Amino acid sequence: MSLPVEGGGAPGWSRLLVVFWLTSMVEGAGVSQVFALLPTYLTQLGVVDGDRLAFVGLFGSLIFVVGAPLVPLWGVWADKYSRKAVIVRSALVEAVVFAGVALSREPWQLALSLLLIGLQLGNTGVMLAAIRDVAPRARLGTVIAVFGASGPVGFAVGPAVAGILVDGFGWSLSGVFASSAVISVAIAGLVAFGTREIRPSVVPEGAVLRLAYGAIRGVLVDPAVRAIFAIYAVAFLATQMSRPYVPILVEQVVRPGEALTSSIALVAGTAALVGALVSPLGGAMGDRIGFRPVLVAALLAGGAALALMPAAPSVPLLALVALVYAAASAAVGAMIFGVLATEVPPERRSATLNLVYLPLYAAGIVGPATGAVAVSAGGLAGPFAIGALVSLAGALAVAVQRRR
């Protein structure tokens, strides 16, 4: 059943938010397990320590290489034909990816499985556009921030569950990844049979390629949207450079007798969970005082936390610094969504929101590769130092743009 809407307060919007929230959370949980356990998994696959740091960065880039060029197409197909079908496709592909990771027994098999993640991209912007079309306008910032918290919650739940299963019940890492595949199949069924189709107010007409890359052109020729996308790319770049190396920071400070997987879960999972809790608060603050001032503060806090992370002498202190960074990152995402949802003209809003994660995918290719170079040149602290400078530069750019 199709539900054409524009504006806010459409019947069933809260149910749609819940289903999409669960969809995004499950995806985040599975992907976070891959990020958190990748260094350990590479060791189990026979990669020697001398090559592992470079492998971590390069394998992180593989996640986005295949999928980034397809992101504009998914947005057009969603608006032209079916948003629901595009979201279900993503859940089914992620099930295949997690199953492939679980079955990998050689590094090249793991690399091939990570390449397939690119085919599951493009669903978050589609869900965000649908939520924007049905949510109450007066609560838009808070609703978007609540949805934005789903990813951080997933990134918290994923490593935490992995720590319990591996250290508490003796599961293998392959078993953890296989369970994520099964849950992803269940989510595909939930979206397929538990939601209604939400059609955009303006359904695009014409050739798919022309519409897809016309949407990109529309983003690039709008100075305000172009600037926001650039800031988002900067924020993601800082994250993608540093995130693959957080588990290795944990390895360096973990004490004898402490379970490694659970320690990684404490640092990555607890931080992400607090970030998820802060995200709705950031949305409420954005509704009250404006999205851009909160964005500047979040970028500043994130840069400071990245700079301090390599100096943390213990797992609890590392978790505390990671917590600050996760909260700042969640607030950045919520503020970017809020700015785009309120400042982009209605006729281009859906296409722009469908492309909202395009900066993430670009940063996802450049960031880990840059991190691999930085760690080779400056040691483990290199990616965190460069990420801090990038985040602080983003705060300065937003502040200057706001003053203008």
Condensed to tens digits (0 to 9), the pLDDT of residues 165-201 reads 998 899 999 999 999 999 999 999 999 999 999 888 7
Specify the pairing of strand 2-4 against strand 197-199: parallel
**Cα–Cα distance measured from residue 296 to residue 398, given in angstroms and rounded to the nearest whole number:** 6
- Residue 3: strand pairing partners: 198
Query: Which of the residue ranges 2-6, 54-58, 113-117 would you say has the lowest mean pLDDT?
Result: 2-6
Question: Is 321 among the domain residues?
Answer: yes
pTM above 0.75, yes or no: no
Domain count, the chain: 1
> Quick one: tokens of 326?
């996760």
Question: Is 256 among the domain residues?
Answer: yes
Residue 287 lies in domain: 8-194+207-403
Question: Is 200 among the domain residues?
Answer: no
Question: Is 3 among the domain residues?
Answer: no
Question: Is 269 among the domain residues?
Answer: yes
CATH (domain of 232):
1.20.1250.20
Write down the mean pLDDT value for the chain.
Answer: 84
**Cα–Cα distance measured from residue 27 to residue 46, given in angstroms and rounded to the nearest whole number:** 27
The angle subtended at Cα 119 by Cα 97 and Cα 202, nearest 5°, is 135
Question: Is 202 among the domain residues?
Answer: no
Instruction: Give mean pLDDT, residues 338-345.
Output: 74
Question: Is 251 among the domain residues?
Answer: yes
Question: Is 2 among the domain residues?
Answer: no
**Cα–Cα distance measured from residue 72 to residue 213, given in angstroms and rounded to the nearest whole number:** 7
Task: Identify the residue whose tokens are 């965190």.
Answer: 384
**Cα–Cα distance measured from residue 235 to residue 222, given in angstroms and rounded to the nearest whole number:** 20
Instruction: Give mean pLDDT, residues 117-126.
Output: 84
